[in-house]
Each structure stands twice: as C-alpha cells, then as structure tokens.
Amino acid sequence: ETGVTQSPTHLIKTRGQQVTLRCSSQSGHNTVSWYQQALGQGPQFIFQYYREEENGRGNFPPRFSGLQFPNYSSELNVNALELDDSALYLCASSHGTSRYNEQFFGPGTRLTVL
C-alpha cells in the first residue's frame, strides 16, 4: 500500500506568479483535502475534493483552485502569488465514507514566495 505523495518538495516563486502543486492519494482513498500550514501554526483547510468535485472549501480566495482526476490524484493551483502564500502545503487523503474522517497526510510542499 503506497502512502500519500506530493511534488515538488520545495518551490520558490516570485510575487504575481502562478504555481501548481500535485498530490497522489493513498491507494483505496477517493477523497483529497488540501491544507496550508504557515510557520508556527496548525494546518488550515483550503478545500476538499471527492469524486472529482469540490466537496467543501475553507476561507481562501478564488485564486486558490484545484482539480481531482479519475485516479483520485489532485492538483492545487494558486494564481497571483502573494508573500503571505509562503507556507507548507499539505495534501491529505481519506475514504469518503470513513465514519471518523481519518485523514492521512503527505510530506508537503514548501512554497516560498519572494
């Protein structure tokens, strides 16, 4: 059983640029959630995808968008990058019918915006 993988591990961008982060879910999982973790903070929910549809969204602007593919892998896209977007971006996979919503995280992508 393979765990959650994310790419790239690190990324440096400048303000105004666009970025795409990728996530492969754990085998058997059909739900992917994305979180942003700023330094010294707990993860903050961005959005969740279930069966290729957005299933819920946190308090993030529309320039944060995503996709889920038929194999349940997912992308997070951020347009018009701002300095405050610098953070660790975490992807978590789960099974949509899991009673307790246990989520399993990937290693994250460290994004630095200069």
Partner 1 sequence: TQLLEQSPQFLSIQEGENLTVYCNYSSVFSSLQWYRQEPGEGPVLLVTVVTGGEVKKLKRLTFQFGDARKDSSLHITAAQPGDTGLYLCAGAGGSQGNLIFGKGTKLSVKP
Task: Identify which of residues 12 and 80 has a Cβ nearer to partner 1 in the complex.
Answer: 12
101 touching partner 1, by CB under 8 A: yes
The closest alpha carbon to 34, from 13, 9, 64, 10, belongs to 64
102 touching partner 1, by CB under 8 A: yes
Beta-bridge mates of residue 6: 23
31 touching partner 1, by CB under 8 A: yes
Binders of partner 1 in range 56-95 (CB under 8 A): 56-58, 88, 90, 92
Q: Which stretch binds partner 1 (CB under 8 A): 12-20, 67-75, 77-85, 105-113?
A: 105-113
